[in-house]
Amino acid sequence: LSGLLGTGAQALAAPAPAAAPEAAQAAHPMADFLGPWSSLGLAPLTITAGKPSGGVTPLELKLPAPIEKLTGLVGRTFTLRQVNGTTLHSVNDDPDVSFTLTSQNSADLKMKGKKPGQVMNLPLSRAD
> Which pLDDT value is given to residue 77?
93
Helices (H) and strands (E) in the chain, counts: 3, 8
37 near 124, Cβ under 8 Å? yes
- C-alpha span between 10 and 13 (Å, rounded): 5
**What are the tens digits of pLDDT across the range 30-87?**
889 999 999 988 899 999 998 887 777 889 999 999 999 988 899 999 999 999 989 9
With cut-offs at 50, 70 and 90, classify the pLDDT of residue 3. Answer: very low
- C-alpha span between 80 and 92 (Å, rounded): 9
Q: What is the pTM of this model?
A: 0.74
Q: Is the peptide bond before 36 cis (omega within 30 degrees of 0)?
A: no
Q: Which residues pair with 49 in a beta bridge?
A: 59
> Which pLDDT value is given to residue 26?
58
